[in-house]
Amino acid sequence: MAPCFYSYYGFIFSGLTFYGLGGHPSSARNGRKTRRLEVDCLHCLLPVRGEGDFCCSGCEAAHHFISASGLQDFYKLRAGKKLFSVIAELPPEFLDDEFAQNYVHDVTEDLKTVSFILEGITCSACIWLLEKIPFIDQRVKSVRVSMGSSSVQIVFDSKISLSELAMVFVRLGYKPHLYFDIKKDERKWILKVAVAFASWLATMHVSLNLYAGLITSMSQNVLFVTSLVSMLLALPAISYSAQPFYLNTWRALKVKRVNIDLLVTLTIIAGSALSLKNIFYGVNETYFDALTMLIAFLLLGRLIVHYAERKTKNESDLFRHKILGAYTKFKIGDVAVVKSGESFPCDGEVVEGSSFMNSSWLTGEEKLLPLSTGVKVLAGAINIGDEVRMRVGSVGHQTLAGKVLMTLQTTEKSDFSLLSEKLERYFVCSVILFIPLFVFLSRDSSDAWSKAMSLMIVLCPCALGLAIPSVVASAMAQAFKKGILIKGEKILEKISVINTIILDKTGTLTDPQLKIKEHYWKEEMIAERGLTKAELENLLSVVAERSKHLVLTPFKSKANNLPDLSIKEILGSGVLIKYKNHLIKIGSADFVGLQHTHECYSLTLVVDIDGSPVAGFKIESDMRAGAMEFVSDILNKMKIYILSGDKKEHVEEISGALKIPKENVFAQQTPQMKLDFVSQKVLENKVMMVGDGINDTLAFKKSHVSVGVSGGASFAMQNCDVYLMSPSLKSIGQLMQASYKVMRVIKLNLLWVFIYNLIGFLLVLKGTIGPLTCAVLMPLSSITVILFSTMQNYFGDKA
């Protein structure tokens, strides 16, 4: 499957070179090399480091694809808005067709539908661009974007495979993820809230007549009819909208627990029963308006929180499917064929063929490992190179990845909500005991029931129920706009107490993409051999397109075809090229035969023509954007450690630049070592783990807060508490500042609710206010809390 669609788009791409705007990058580069220090990427508008018009090859490809498709207006419509720089690549779930089909639904015999979550949607111009896809590829019938959830719903012809469909989005610069559309479930929630509000407002209108009847005289007939209508209008909220409270109460009681919903349920039942009694006894005192309001606001609070959480959820279980699912397909001793681009299904060893293995997501080490007969391979690692045959050594749960997965299933997070749950239980039990006691003690008083109802309304946790979720949901929504996905309402609370940060290096502190840091050209020597520098640049681009070597990826750009080119790749070493009667070697210094004393020996890549080195390149990962600022901001405020699977010298180079003390830097760490380190640190510290690969996920689960960074493995993304869509690590600093502010606002809200309800409680006991006044006062408290929470700028410059 994979080679088919890659070649299909490769064909399109080769055609695009004729439509590209701005000419060949090398010409632009040469022209501007000396007169500009920094320019913005033509595609995403982020600063370009180094030369060229684009910040990365992905942006360049997206720009050409958009231009060649006649959709250049996208760049006008976005009006200078910067795009999120996402690494637009095809996520591995699309390569497993059997797995991906679980997300596809039939519309008709020929049409299917699927939903994707897209990384990279930033502004309304993205809607315009994405919804134009049917014009680019006729096999796509419609694309509907939902900015709120960063998702798209696609109707497509069954002739296009899911991976081809996903590649269209990748080519436009977005990273798609398979997504179960849960709109139907959400509609039920919206319906419940809407019904509750409609019911409350209608009941309140009728109740105004009843309030008027208290001041002026009202005949018993009018009172009866009006009260009945009030009950009728409240019925939808009481019987339908309040169902979640009844169900939660029932579930809690079944396991002999009490929760705050029990109090809500009792208030609704008691309020309805008392109102019904008063209607038939001709007393002008019903509580339907207060009850419906209570239901509406409590549901609203839960809906707000649900919305914020929904944005962060992706139920993909790809890795379990790929690794643990392989258990049924292979037995120990079987020989499995693994094609280029596929992941190894089991641990084992190569029995035939030679290739390379990319296991960076598992081990954290950037280097590609050469594979030949007898070399051990790991389940989940990607085969980069030729097809190989492997003998299965261990399968499913017994593989290294399987063990990681199993540990994840059994590793429990510490329960930070224990204290609040205990308080909730004590509060509910106290109210349940207090109200009957109060009624019993005031049984001689004529207004005992009225006061009891007032107390139940006043003590009902309407504003209390909103005090935390409204702040958290508002902060989470603001975080989402900043490119930070927070997976759960308690995460912000946890972040606010963090005092230790543990950072992975590869892909976390460093950019996942390799870049050319230094380059040297000997143009006279090139000219002596009848070639030009531009010709060699083009040659490198062609080789980069055809080669599996990661180190050549920075050279990928538009390349003109060179028909008389013969390329032979020497796995693990370099590339031999025959071109215009010259033998050109591209590879490491050892590969081209340089002596240790040669000036170019330290370079990553050397180009050699007929035995003479003519060009050299130092290729490295950049420091991730914002890493310096983030680390320098927190260096004196909390402890920072680096744990990396990479070699010591690479790790120390980064830690030195960041001024992190050497004793806090640990290299060549396995997932288990990372887990052990974090386990030890969490005993005395509040630990945040920041990483990007599966090798970090064990440590993720043990840490108090885990942060997955943009461009990481999808499995890591699913298992972290916070995921950064924005590539800059500065977001973590902003998030920490926001968490402090969130905690301050929550405390103020709780204080406000406590004082407000205490005053209400005392006024009820004194007999100053009755149920109707309570019913009017209650929403004021809730509305104040919601307004105060939502009007805060949690991610403001000054927290």
Partner 1 sequence: MSVFTFLLLLGVFIFSILFGLLIWGIRSGQMDDLVTPGERILWEDPKDDSQS
Residues that bind partner 1 (CB under 8 A): 77, 124-125, 127-128, 131, 134-135, 142, 145-149, 183, 186-187, 190-191, 194-195, 198, 202, 205-206, 219, 221-222, 225-226, 229, 232-233, 236
In the complex, minimum distance from the CB of residue 469 to partner 1, in angstroms, rounded to a whole number: 19
CA distances from 489 to 189, 207, 401, 483, 486 (A): 18, 37, 30, 17, 8
722: enclosing H helix or E strand: strand 722-724
In the complex, minimum distance from the CB of residue 225 to partner 1, in angstroms, rounded to a whole number: 6
Backbone angles phi, psi at 455, to 5 degrees: -65, -40
Closest listed residue to residue 361, CA positions, set 722, 95, 713, 719: 713
The DSSP secondary structure of 299-318, one letter per residue, reads: HHHHHHHHHHHHTT-----H
Q: How is residue 119 written in tokens?
A: 């990384």
In the complex, minimum distance from the CB of residue 195 to partner 1, in angstroms, rounded to a whole number: 7
Q: Which is closer to partner 1, CB of 304 or CB of 665?
A: 304
The DSSP secondary structure of 362-424, one letter per residue, reads: HH---SPEEE-TT-EE-TT-EEEES-EEEEEEE-GGGSHHHHHHHHHHH-----TTHHHHHHH
Q: How is residue 609 written in tokens?
A: 């023509």
Q: Which is closer to partner 1, CB of 87 or CB of 125?
A: 125
Distance, CA of 642 to CA of 645 (rounded, Å): 10
In the complex, minimum distance from the CB of residue 138 to partner 1, in angstroms, rounded to a whole number: 11
CA distances from 567 to 452, 563, 574 (A): 88, 11, 11
Q: Which is closer to partner 1, CB of 191 or CB of 758?
A: 191
In the complex, minimum distance from the CB of residue 382 to partner 1, in angstroms, rounded to a whole number: 36
In the complex, minimum distance from the CB of residue 198 to partner 1, in angstroms, rounded to a whole number: 6
In the complex, minimum distance from the CB of residue 229 to partner 1, in angstroms, rounded to a whole number: 6
- Residues 198 and 236: beta-carbon distance below 8 Å: yes
Q: Which is closer to partner 1, CB of 205 or CB of 277?
A: 205
Backbone angles phi, psi at 155, to 5 degrees: -110, 125
According to DSSP, the residues that pair with 377 across neighbouring strands are 348
Q: Which is closer to partner 1, CB of 206 or CB of 509?
A: 206
Q: Which is closer to partner 1, CB of 205 or CB of 422?
A: 205
In the complex, minimum distance from the CB of residue 144 to partner 1, in angstroms, rounded to a whole number: 8
- Residues 643 and 690: beta-carbon distance below 8 Å: no
In the complex, minimum distance from the CB of residue 165 to partner 1, in angstroms, rounded to a whole number: 19
Q: Which is closer to partner 1, CB of 149 or CB of 454?
A: 149
266: enclosing H helix or E strand: helix 260-281
Q: How is residue 433 written in tokens?
A: 């005991």
In the complex, minimum distance from the CB of residue 797 to partner 1, in angstroms, rounded to a whole number: 25
Q: Which is closer to partner 1, CB of 113 or CB of 398?
A: 113
| CA max distance for the chain | 113
Q: Which is closer to partner 1, CB of 146 or CB of 573?
A: 146
Q: Which is closer to partner 1, CB of 202 or CB of 586?
A: 202
Distance, CA of 413 to CA of 181 (rounded, Å): 28
In the complex, minimum distance from the CB of residue 488 to partner 1, in angstroms, rounded to a whole number: 23
- Residues 531 and 580: beta-carbon distance below 8 Å: yes
In the complex, minimum distance from the CB of residue 194 to partner 1, in angstroms, rounded to a whole number: 6
At 752, which amino acid appears? W
Burial degree of 227 (CB within 10 A; 0-12, 13-18, 19+): buried
CA distances from 511 to 46, 366, 430 (A): 14, 12, 55
Q: Which is closer to partner 1, CB of 9 or CB of 74?
A: 74
In the complex, minimum distance from the CB of residue 620 to partner 1, in angstroms, rounded to a whole number: 40
577: enclosing H helix or E strand: strand 574-579
Distance, CA of 769 to CA of 454 (rounded, Å): 8
Q: Which is closer to partner 1, CB of 305 or CB of 735?
A: 305
At 665, which amino acid appears? V
Q: Which is closer to partner 1, CB of 107 or CB of 273?
A: 107
HEC string of 540-570? HHHHHHHCCCHHHHHHCCCCCCCCCCEEEEE
| Sheet of strand 355-358, all strands in order from the earlier edge strand to the far edge | 369-371, 355-358, 382-385
In the complex, minimum distance from the CB of residue 221 to partner 1, in angstroms, rounded to a whole number: 6
Backbone angles phi, psi at 520, to 5 degrees: -130, 130
CB atoms under 10 Å from CB of 282, counted, come to 11
Q: Would you call 70 helix, strand, or coil by DSSP?
A: coil
Distance, CA of 349 to CA of 373 (rounded, Å): 7
Q: Which is closer to partner 1, CB of 123 or CB of 743?
A: 123
Q: Which is closer to partner 1, CB of 229 or CB of 571?
A: 229
Q: How is residue 21 written in tokens?
A: 């705007």
356: enclosing H helix or E strand: strand 355-358
In the complex, minimum distance from the CB of residue 116 to partner 1, in angstroms, rounded to a whole number: 15
Distance, CA of 305 to CA of 475 (rounded, Å): 10
